[in-house]
Amino acid sequence: MTDARQDQAAEWFAGLRDACCRAFEQLEDVFEESPLAPGRFTRTAWRRDGDDPGDDDHGGGVMALMHGRVFEKVGVNVSVVKGALSPEFRRAIPGGEAAGGQFWAAGISVVAHPCSPLVPAAHMNTRMIVTDHRWFGGGADLTPTFPLAEDSAAFHAALKAACDAHAVADYAHYKAWCDRYFYLPHRGEARGIGGIFFDNLASGDWDADFAFARAVGQAFLAVYSDLVARHLHEPWSEEQRRAQLIKRGRYVEFNLLYDRGTTFGLKTGGNVEAVLMSLPPAVIWP
Amino acid sequence: MTDARQDQAAEWFAGLRDACCRAFEQLEDVFEESPLAPGRFTRTAWRRDGDDPGDDDHGGGVMALMHGRVFEKVGVNVSVVKGALSPEFRRAIPGGEAAGGQFWAAGISVVAHPCSPLVPAAHMNTRMIVTDHRWFGGGADLTPTFPLAEDSAAFHAALKAACDAHAVADYAHYKAWCDRYFYLPHRGEARGIGGIFFDNLASGDWDADFAFARAVGQAFLAVYSDLVARHLHEPWSEEQRRAQLIKRGRYVEFNLLYDRGTTFGLKTGGNVEAVLMSLPPAVIWP
């Protein structure tokens, strides 16, 4: 049983997925000097295995994946899943106990690994979760191999503007949360240049929260498309490519050692290919 | 303060390291049809940061690393470290509390990622640990991209012979332990074709335990060198190479998601480069 708000959110995530795929395919078209054909997304639906024997519809998702001439690998996944939380997660998740362990979750996840080492990698995710509570979470962050002050400024400014336009959001808090979250303690290194991270957003005004979640998706898509367009024509060297492949190793280390979404997905029987879609297409550990 | 047994064990690990490096460099020499020069190991020493302000010698280790024409990346690390366990590990490790948290550990770790997808990757590790208790642990396992029954049989037979020659070892138990340990639950896949895994080996006869630990190292080096020699001249295709790079992704997933040695090393401030030496030189996640 879903209500109108859940349907609205799920519809928004699917629409944002379409917009992301369209924008990324347009960037593929723009790179006409490449000898390769422009990439196109292929979509693969998956169903979630049931964890509640009395109910056989536990939702699922659609992975949209493209291997192109601008994006070496870019995934845009949406999912709408429901079911019963394990006793362990029931206690860990807000409202999990009160809901008798029942949950519903919908979201979108975007991870882009460009071919060029001069085009930053990026990640965006927003989700709505319903137990006895209902809230939004998500974030966006940028991982350049060679950080440029003007790119970082543009990325941060876009997310700040999205936050500043919505009274329910606290930019300074979300930015600091992102820096804390995307950090590799064993390396003493940040994963990238940050962005924003938020969770448990439930201000009491659902429409306002939803409007902010939408704004994050739109702001990310606009600024990231712009950054890709800015750098995709620049020539790069083998040394720069090697640095990118090494940098991607840090991305893998973060996602497998620390990322909550990844370990949550793998340990709760999520779709393995969808959960690990974030892993870069080619990586080196010299 | 170490006693003669600790010195003997540390000396053995260093000698086995030398034997491994020699054997692997000889395999580099054998592959004369390659246009590349034969690889040679380079050694890098590291010191462990102190965790006990009253004592500034916490040991360290030496990484021996080679990038060659047979071995795309092979590491042979030895270390002799000592210090104070964190309160958490003090409780988790046999004899940790009784020793007042003091520990000493020495060991060798070998991880080989060959260039050819037809040559199996391999791992071997043996270690001696001293708290209030003293014991050996270790194991050896093989990760072929294309498993061959005769290779698997030879590898298992060599380890079985090493166990069978030592009354303190239980081959069936160690083989099953290895299969359980090197398993990726999220994929429902084994990391490779197994081998042996043992820990907390303290039979009461230290000389017998040490003799078995030595036999594991010798058996591994002999059988693995033989398997490499058997396949290194075979031509391979791009499709086979691609399958190898994908298989290596599973290796990374195992080591970062599940391997106790890796997470222990990273969380206790081990040398990051030495701990992550096991990660393959080139990997793809398509």
Option in A67, A280, A284 nearest B281 (CB): A284
- Nearest chain B residue to A67 by CA distance is B286
Superfamily of domain B4-277: Coproporphyrinogen III oxidase, aerobic (3.40.1500.10)
Q: Does residue A68 sit in helix, strand or coil?
A: coil
Could you tell me what percent of chain B has a pLDDT over 70? 97
Record: contact A257-B272, CB cut-off 8 A:
no
Quick one: average pLDDT of A239-243?
98
**Min CA distance, B281 vs chain A (Å)?**
5
Helix boundaries (H) for chain B: 4-30, 87-92, 149-164, 171-181, 206-231, 238-257, 260-267, 272-275
Radius of gyration of chain B (CA): 19
Which residues in A have their CB inside 8 Å of a CB on B? 67, 73, 186-187, 245, 249, 252-253, 256-257, 263, 266-267, 272, 275-276, 279-286
Six token digits for residue A106: 């919908």
Quick one: average pLDDT of A127-140?
95
In this predicted structure, the answer to whether residue A96 has a pLDDT above a threshold of 90 is: no
The pairing of strands B121-130 and A59-66 is unpaired
Which residue reads 């003997």 in tokens?
B8
Q: If you average pLDDT over every residue of chain A, what do you get?
A: 93
Exposure letters B56-78 (e unless 16+ CB within 10 A, then b): eebbbbbbbbbbbbbbbbbbbbb
Interface confidence, given as ipTM, is 0.91
- What is the DSSP-derived secondary structure letter of residue A277? G
Q: Which residues of A touch B253 (CB under 8 A)?
A: 256, 276
Record: contact B282-A279, CB cut-off 8 A:
no
Tens-digit pLDDT profile for residues B18-66: 999 999 999 999 999 999 999 999 999 998 876 555 556 788 999 999 9
The amino acid occupying position A270 is G
Option in A256, A267, A281 nearest B253 (CB): A256
Pairwise pLDDT comparison (B95 vs B65), residue with the higher score: B65
Q: Is A123 a catalytic residue?
A: yes
pTM of the shown model: 0.93
Which residues in B have their CB inside 8 Å of a CB on A? 67, 73, 186-187, 245, 249, 252-253, 256-257, 263, 266-267, 272, 275-276, 279-286
Tens-digit pLDDT profile for residues B121-176: 999 999 999 998 999 999 999 999 999 999 999 999 999 999 999 999 999 999 99
Q: What is d(CA B51, CA A83) in angstroms, rounded to the nearest whole number?
A: 46
